[in-house]
Chain A
């Protein structure tokens, strides 16, 4: 439901606050930062997927002219670190567990010398048997990757709500199948990098392109064995994150170790190959068996999942991701009886981690195909099946997620209209088909302790401009602009008079950072709270200066004025100076905070993940070429319920960009490995969509208002790519009667499936297109 509220800055199509710097080449990314005397750091990586390090000899490398420091595990505290399980080390201790793992590092006066020195480090290895497939890794007798982790299981989850046996017994249609996703990489055009220096007194300053500064500080300090405030992290411009820059890798820690040992600033910028080998932690790949029971009329009666998730060699955020895959989708439709089991399994491959969607795209790839199969089996239009089961405001999922605002049905209606769904279904053309899928996502997630909050400070400078100090960080998603709009709206300032600082752990208060589609909702609420406190200070002083009662005052256009006699006004600049430059004066400044009304999951995984849930529906029309197996997306439509849209340009960009990543996931992406070694770790062999790959796209925002959000806003960033792969697969089924169950959906797989169908059911043979 939309709330009729008029805004002056919120909802306007405004230009990015950092945009001028970005279009002129002036924005400073981490690779652009040069400090006096800065050295180049390079990392020696494991060539083996699983091996003991018998001996490391760095003496020759240390003697090479131009080398200023060589570090190994001996330079570390040898204590594990990690977001949930402390199972990884900055530099390998005793053994390596994947190809690309950091073993040693060199800082030298230039890159050539640093790389030459890497080649002079002598390592005696003892290869160990390795395991790459999670199902193999779970078997008795498989090589053990971590001591004490029996059958290589990092985590298990086993949840049943209601009575699943009875629910299946009461179902009139049961559909089950197994689906496999693909290891997808973030492929931000900027790789991970750091510039670190260590002062003689022992304080580290690290410029990083991280999307989660304070979590990075926490983990880096732990890995270095120092207090949190001994590490200062300053965010550079960030060239794309998508979850990959949430500091689950070792780049910054190794950089800090080299800076400490060399007593010089050091940078380490990942090469593109390093980024694939051991940089951003790719999407947790999953094998999902799903079974759902339905009543004849289409109502969902039961759902059961069994997930085997490939953790890779170390855990990072994979435990939380497996949890999301297991439980999240139960907030999308109305469920009563569900059972879900997940096994997160160590393998000798790159550690997996956060990527836009956070477990949701893999789960929806499976569940939304089961929904589609059910619709076809029941003879119900998939759109009607989704609409019938869609969550409503007030719905509480079996795991306790409490839905406040929800416009999923409106999203389904929008998709129906934009796609001309009914019309196209009525006039089905050969080899063409329609598919859809629905999605739910969070606006922040309570899983770091019992906290899902944010904070911000706003000061009003003497020239009347407000400066937001926020530690959430801009990673390209448009958070800085949205926050400036929220502050401008609350303060009655023009947008030009609001600025935002860069995120800096020494200057800004604690923020969890950019993940979980949380920054506009959680960070925006904190900014709004700070702005309302600042506004109170402005009103206090204005009441004094204008000799008026506070309740008669209003703020607009950078002024505080008396309602009804607007000439009696004072500018924000005047107020800032009047409050400051007097005996006992003080600056106008206030901090605000927000902690979502969510509930930490208990031991049975019952809780309420987020303060608000975002919903969406997407559909595609595809054409399958029966001769080549090529799938052409003729039209793509998407509708998103993200509450109030703060900046339409930014929000549309988020929706469009995530659909693009979703289409990549569906059709072309995936890292191929042979014996744990990546075979396509570069942009010519790992393809991401380019401009000509993009289909015509129509997108719409639902008319929606989230009562707990800043001016009614909630999250958006991840929503767009969650259901996309299932949308494409469902459309292919409608077009050609084939069900592709492994990602990516390559022409080879399509052709193979078409052949299998034509051998099985000659009557359903797909006709060749007349025009070829």
Chain B
């Protein structure tokens, strides 16, 4: 029997109609429509589905959506604010902390949960914490570097992403009048 569930995701309320056994992962991806959270192993081992619920890192493939009513859920889509990337996202980009990118949302959410609780972790603490997030591409070196860089604010202050919205100039078709 389906029922209405109210989920608060990235600060917005969603009313979704789901079976009581619906996993948070599938509710986010299919009912809320936020596909940034990924399914990797379906048994809570790989960390690709990591999201933050009330400040705690959880595997959304092991969490019932129903159990998250009234809680604050943060997904990868909730990190960039006002067109600016979260420092962790920027660090992953600048330090090459991803390749195929499919584990990346989970890696960034895990790192965020760590830095929220422990803003100045040692390298060993990062390694231990992040070992719940598998990556098959990078060998983890650049992920570690990115997390440490974000923790120590070693990211560019003037970082510009080419995807940032710009006002397009209407260009004349007559090239000789173009400045």
Contact = CB atoms under 8 A, between A and B. Distances in A.
Interface string A467-490: 000000001111000000000000
B43 A684 contact: yes
A376 interface: no
A577 B137 contact: no
Q: Which residue of A545, A661, A689 has the most chain B CB atoms within 10 A of its CB atom?
A: A689
Contacts of A653: 96, 99, 137-139, 142
Contact of A691 (B37, B45, B131, B174): B131
A682 interface: yes
B94 A26 contact: no
B43 A682 contact: yes
B89 A24 contact: yes
A19 interface: yes
B158 interface: no
A577 B175 contact: yes
A16 B138 CA distance: 14
A650 B144 CA distance: 16
A623 to B, nearest CB: 18
Interface in A197-240: 237-240
Given A23-B93, A24-B80, A190 B100 contact: yes
Contacts of B137: 240, 476, 653, 657
Contacts of B142: 649, 652-653, 656
Nearest to A23: B89
Contacts of B45: 682-684
B115 interface: no
B111 to A, nearest CB: 11
Contacts of A659: 139
A242 interface: yes
Q: Which residue of B93, B130, B133, B136 has the most chain A CB atoms within 10 A of its CB atom?
A: B136
A19 to B, nearest CB: 5
Given A23-B108, A684-B45, A189 B38 contact: yes
Contact of B99 (A25, A463, A657, A689): A657
Nearest to A655: B139
B98 A577 contact: no
Given A240-B137, A683-B43, A29 B102 contact: yes
Interface string B74-96: 01110110000100011011111
B36 A24 contact: yes
Contact of B42 (A272, A578, A661): A272
B101 A27 contact: yes
B85 A23 contact: yes
Contacts of A697: 139, 141
Contact of B171 (A241, A462, A690, A693): A462
A239 B101 contact: yes
A337 B178 CA distance: 69
A189 B138 contact: no
Contacts of B5: none
Given A190-B38, A476-B137, A692 B100 contact: no
A407 B163 CA distance: 39
Contacts of A660: 138-140
B134 A23 contact: no
A587 B43 CA distance: 52
B136 A188 contact: yes
Given A19-B98, A656-B138, A24 B40 contact: no
B27 interface: no
B60 interface: no
A496 B99 contact: no
Contacts of A650: 96, 99
Contacts of B161: 20
B57 interface: no
Interface string A570-594: 0001110110010000000000000
B1 interface: no
Instruction: Give the interface size class of chain A.
Output: 35 or more
Interface in A666-694: 682-684, 688-694
Q: Which residue of B95, B141, B143, B175 has the most chain A CB atoms within 10 A of its CB atom?
A: B175
A522 interface: no
Contacts of B175: 545, 574-575, 577-578, 581
Q: Which residue of B34, B104, B108, B133 has the most chain A CB atoms within 10 A of its CB atom?
A: B104
B165 to A, nearest CB: 12
Nearest to B173: A581
B162 A496 contact: yes
A682 B41 contact: yes
A575 B105 CA distance: 41
B171 A463 contact: yes
Nearest to A462: B171
Interface in A232-284: 237-242, 271-272
Interface string A339-357: 0000000000000000000
Nearest to B109: A25
Contacts of B99: 240, 476-478, 650, 653, 657
Nearest to A240: B100
Contacts of B73: none
A189 B134 contact: yes
Nearest to B142: A653
Contact of A24 (B79, B135, B171): B79
Given A23-B108, A578-B175, A657 B139 contact: yes
B170 to A, nearest CB: 11
Interface string B116-154: 000000000011101111111111111110000000000
Given A16-B96, A477-B99, A691 B77 contact: no
Contacts of B128: 692
A238 B100 CA distance: 6
A186 interface: yes
A296 interface: no
A769 interface: no
Q: Which residue of B35, B92, B108 has the most chain A CB atoms within 10 A of its CB atom?
A: B35
Contacts of A657: 99, 136-139
Interface string A448-470: 00000000000000110000000
Contact of B96 (A496, A649, A688, A692): A649
Interface string A594-615: 0000000000000000000000
Given A239-B103, A684-B43, 18 more contacts: A19-B93, A25-B75, A186-B136, A188-B100, A189-B38, A241-B100, A476-B137, A545-B175, A653-B139, A657-B99, A657-B138, A660-B139, A683-B45, A684-B45, A691-B131, A691-B140, A691-B143, A692-B127
22 contacts: A19-B101, A22-B104, A23-B101, A25-B105, A26-B36, A32-B29, A188-B100, A237-B101, A476-B101, A574-B175, A649-B95, A653-B139, A657-B136, A657-B139, A660-B138, A682-B43, A683-B134, A688-B134, A689-B140, A691-B144, A693-B131, A697-B139
Q: What 9 pairs across the A-B complex have the smallest Cβ distances?
A: A25-B36, A476-B100, A239-B102, A22-B101, A660-B139, A25-B76, A656-B139, A649-B96, A32-B35
Interface of A: 15-16, 18-29, 31-32, 186-190, 237-242, 271-272, 462-463, 475-478, 496, 545, 573-575, 577-578, 581, 649-650, 652-653, 656-661, 682-684, 688-694, 697
Interface of B: 29, 34-43, 45-46, 48, 75-77, 79-80, 85, 89-90, 92-96, 98-105, 108, 126-128, 130-144, 161-163, 171, 173-175, 178
